[in-house]
Amino acid sequence: MLLKLILWTSFLVVWQQTPIVVAKQKKNVFCYHGTWSTYRQSLGKFDVETHIDPFLCTHLMYAFFGIEESGELRIIDPYLDLEDNYGRGNIKKFNALKLRNPTLKTLAAVGGWNEGSKKFSTVAADAAKREKFVISVVQFLQKYGFDGIDLDWEYPGQRHKLENQDRENFLLLLKELKEGLEPFGYLLTAAVGSVKSSANISYDILEMMKYLDFVNVMAYDLHGPWESVVGINAPLYAGPQIPLIIPTDEC
């Protein structure tokens, strides 16, 4: 995905909580900036200050931040993200894009594939840790100037061996996040898996929509090396001869 941003918008379905009115519906374009692209060489290298067009998208996600088992939000790459100790200060540069486009919204994306599932499960299962996470998120957004948080837990009920009620606890986490963020006008979104068999394990979709402003469906990696037949990575439609088989613990 060597684009100026990791543009999930090409492979993304955005669900809105409010009813769609075609004539007046504002088009929302969500884009994810994978911060690790800063370290690439040549055409694969993308810097915040030189390669992000602040008018291309309505919502920009800074991916990723992590989560501690204690419930605190974690900066994964302090040198890249912060200005301390001669760091590159990418968070500040990223949110400064709103000076060029005042209508732009920026969100802190928390999680991702590499962050795993276990720590999310541990936090979501504990009321005190959920409360600590909500407080940590609010303080983080206030400190760094983001407009909301995008929760990318990959995936509730999967990719760890803990006994869990992740599907139910994910709802509790979303509910409490919404209650903590709403007084400040912060957005709450989530990135979710798109395959039905996986989604049924992880999500109570109707209940989730009570708390989320947007749901970003990860409609890519739908085919890969776990299959014997080559398929399109992010197809718009299912092929008649190629079923979707996605082993989330191995892909």
On whether residue 245 sits in a domain, the answer given is: no
Q: Please state the φ and ψ torsions of residue 167, each to the nearest 5 degrees.
A: -60, -45
> Active-site residue numbers?
154
Do 28 and 56 contact (CB within 8 A), yes or no?
Answer: no
Per-residue pLDDT band for 144 (boundaries 50, 70, 90) equals very high
Return the CATH number at 185.
3.20.20.80
> What is the pTM (predicted TM-score) of this model?
0.84
Could you tell me the two tokens for 66? 């992590």
Share of the chain above pLDDT 70, in %: 85
Could you tell me the two tokens for 248? 């989330």
Total Cβ atoms within 10 A of residue 249: 9
C-alpha dihedral, 5 to 85 to 74 to 55, nearest 10°: -30
Q: Give the model's pLDDT for residue 224.
A: 82
Do 3 and 34 contact (CB within 8 A), yes or no?
Answer: no
The tens digit of pLDDT for each residue in 69-110 reads 999 999 999 999 999 999 999 999 999 999 999 999 999 999
Mean pLDDT across the stretch 24-35?
Answer: 87
On whether residue 103 sits in a domain, the answer given is: yes
Distance CA 27, CA 14 (A): 10
On whether residue 13 sits in a domain, the answer given is: no
Q: Give the model's pLDDT for residue 244.
A: 60
Do 239 and 195 contact (CB within 8 A), yes or no?
Answer: no
Per-residue pLDDT band for 198 (boundaries 50, 70, 90) equals confident
On whether residue 34 sits in a domain, the answer given is: yes
Cβ partners under 8 Å of residue 23, min gap 6: none
On whether residue 224 sits in a domain, the answer given is: no
Q: In this model, does residue 229 exceed pLDDT 90?
A: no
